[in-house]
Amino acid sequence: MQQTRASWENDISFYLSESKRMLKTKEEIIWRVVDDEALLLDTDSGYYFSMNDTATEIWCLLNEGKSIDDVATTISERYEIDSESVRRDVQELIANLNKEQIASLGE
């Protein structure tokens, strides 16, 4: 399927704007890191969530106000990993956080 120029430009524009946006955590979420694992509690619903060490590192960087691009750069430099792979992992984590209504990308 061939994509039109306008459609392609819209896709690029969305990607670029998304990569600069920052995480917005739901107000009812409280969290702590214990033994390299982020523990999150939604005080509204009572649901509890935990993250592995990699997701915890990404979560902490996002909560420092870093954008997706900043997080991808930091992680890829720290562990010598391709930044595009890291960016996809960060986007996947954010999609899961959004699905669970924990956090989403802010404006």
CATH number for position 50: 3.90.930
Q: What is the pLDDT along the chain (107 residues), one digit of tens a residue?
A: 444 444 444 443 444 456 677 889 999 999 999 999 999 999 999 999 999 999 999 999 999 999 999 999 999 999 999 999 999 999 999 999 999 999 988 76
Q: What is the pLDDT of residue 21?
A: 78
Closest C-alpha to 105, from 49, 67, 70? 67
Q: What is the pLDDT of residue 18?
A: 63
E-only strand ranges, 1-107: 23-25, 29-34, 37-42, 48-50, 103-105
Q: What is the pLDDT of residue 13?
A: 41
Q: What is the pLDDT of residue 86?
A: 93
- Judged by DSSP in three states, 58 sits in helix
Number of domains in the chain: 1
Q: Which residue has the tokens 């994509």?
A: 3
Chain centroid to CA 92: 7
Q: Cβ of 53: how many Cβ atoms within 10 Å?
A: 12
Closest C-alpha to 57, from 42, 39, 41, 36? 36
Q: What is the pLDDT of residue 14?
A: 42
Domain that holds residue 95: 5-105
Q: Write down the pTM of the prediction.
A: 0.78
Query: Which secondary structure element, helix H or strand E, spans residue 97, and what is its range?
Result: helix 83-99
